[in-house]
């Protein structure tokens, strides 16, 4: 009944507000219990109480649903990024942004844990997920006022991805209310790459030696 009435609301075929979120949540819930390979788009549509055609109009594949989750989290983090403080290090601002990502992903942790285990066996999906992550990290660095242009920027993006993924492995096992273990791991990993994520002007102010070209 819900699917029938939903279909009547969309004569123009455009998604109504909230449908992408329903599809993403249904997909991650099913992935957590059934596994990535076993979940079909039809099952996701049924769980989201939407016609298969409407799911097709919004997300053309399961990989597109994962990309949709990445965009959703990006928007949550970027909607109200933490305000910059005086003399704040770029590393500290990036830390705040990445912890906001973990907070936003918390409801999807069981499904993401399954994806972490299964995606290495699905190279095409792993490649799509990696592309989405690189795009997300570029936006996180930009929001932290860390340049992403040129060779140095590309290196900074990739190092930020590596630091984030390493901290995510800790986050998957972190059941504490304040995510203290995750915060400690992320801080440690960002410190290791700080010389690559500090804008040149910040390095000059602090008296650091310039990095080799």
Regarding whether 72 and 17 lie in a shared domain, the answer is no
- Give me the pLDDT at residue 200, please: 55
Regarding whether 18 and 120 lie in a shared domain, the answer is no
**In which residue are the tokens 């909230």 written?**
18
Reading phi first (left if > 0) and then psi (alpha if -120 to 50, else beta), residue 83 is in beta
Residue 205 lies in a domain: no
Residue 212 lies in a domain: no
**Nearest residue to 99 via CA among 23, 25, 179:** 179
Both structure tokens of 80: 């109200």
Regarding whether 190 and 137 lie in a shared domain, the answer is yes
Residue 213 lies in a domain: no
Q: Provide the domain count of the chain.
A: 2
Regarding whether 189 and 117 lie in a shared domain, the answer is yes
Regarding whether 68 and 54 lie in a shared domain, the answer is no
- Give me the pLDDT at residue 197, please: 87
Cα angle 11, 15, 21; round to 5 = 150
Regarding whether 187 and 101 lie in a shared domain, the answer is yes
Residue 13 lies in a domain: yes
Q: Residues 164-172: contacts with CB within 8 Å, 24+ apart?
A: 164/98, 164/101, 164/133, 164/137, 164/189, 165/133, 167/98, 167/102, 168/102, 168/116, 169/116, 171/102, 171/109, 172/109, 172/112, 172/113, 172/116
| CATH number, domain with residue 40 | 1.10.10
**Nearest residue to 163 via CA among 213, 100, 91:** 91
Contact call for residues 135 and 104 (beta carbons, < 8 A): no
pLDDT of the chain, 213 residues: tens digit per residue = 333 333 333 334 444 459 999 999 999 999 999 999 999 999 999 999 999 999 999 999 999 999 999 999 999 999 977 676 777 788 999 999 999 999 999 999 999 999 999 999 999 999 999 999 999 999 999 999 999 999 999 999 999 999 999 999 999 999 998 999 999 999 999 999 999 888 655 444 444 444 433
Regarding whether 71 and 48 lie in a shared domain, the answer is no
Residue 168 lies in a domain: yes
**Nearest residue to 92 via CA among 159, 150, 143:** 143
Regarding whether 105 and 190 lie in a shared domain, the answer is yes
Domain that holds residue 89: 62-199
Residue 209 lies in a domain: no
- Give me the pLDDT at residue 6, please: 37
CA dist 200 and 207 (Å) reads: 11
CA dist 66 and 129 (Å) reads: 7
Regarding whether 35 and 84 lie in a shared domain, the answer is no
Regarding whether 47 and 109 lie in a shared domain, the answer is no
Contact call for residues 24 and 74 (beta carbons, < 8 A): no
- Give me the pLDDT at residue 68, please: 96
Regarding whether 188 and 163 lie in a shared domain, the answer is yes
Residue 208 lies in a domain: no
Regarding whether 124 and 31 lie in a shared domain, the answer is no
From the number of C-beta atoms within 10 Å of its C-beta (0-12, 13-18, 19+), residue 71 rates as middle
**Of the residues 14, 32, 60, which one is the last residue of a structural domain?**
60
Contact call for residues 193 and 174 (beta carbons, < 8 A): no
- Give me the pLDDT at residue 88, please: 78
Residue 24 lies in a domain: yes
CA dist 126 and 93 (Å) reads: 28
């Amino acid at each position: 009944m819900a699917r029938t009435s939903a279909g009547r609301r969309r004569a123009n075929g455009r998604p109504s507000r909230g449908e992408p979120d329903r599809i993403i949540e249904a997909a991650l819930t099913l992935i957590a219990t059934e596994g990535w390979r076993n979940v079909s788009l039809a099952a996701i549509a049924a769980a989201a109480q939407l016609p298969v055609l409407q799911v097709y109009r919004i997300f053309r594949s399961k990989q597109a649903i994962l990309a949709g989750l990445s965009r959703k989290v990006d928007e949550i983090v970027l909607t109200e990024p933490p305000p910059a403080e005086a003399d704040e290090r770029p590393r500290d601002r990036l830390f705040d942004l990445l912890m906001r990502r973990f907070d936003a992903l918390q409801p999807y942790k069981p499904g993401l844990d399954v994806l972490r285990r299964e995606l290495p066996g699905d190279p095409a999906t792993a490649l799509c997920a990696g592309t989405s992550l690189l795009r997300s990290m570029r936006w996180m660095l930009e929001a932290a006022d860390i340049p992403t242009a040129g060779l140095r920027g590309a290196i900074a993006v990739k190092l930020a991805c590596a630091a984030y993924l390493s901290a995510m492995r800790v986050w998957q096992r972190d059941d504490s209310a304040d995510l203290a273990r995750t915060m400690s791991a992320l801080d440690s990993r960002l410190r290791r790459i700080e010389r690559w994520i500090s804008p040149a002007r910040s390095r000059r102010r602090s008296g650091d030696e310039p990095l080799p070209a």
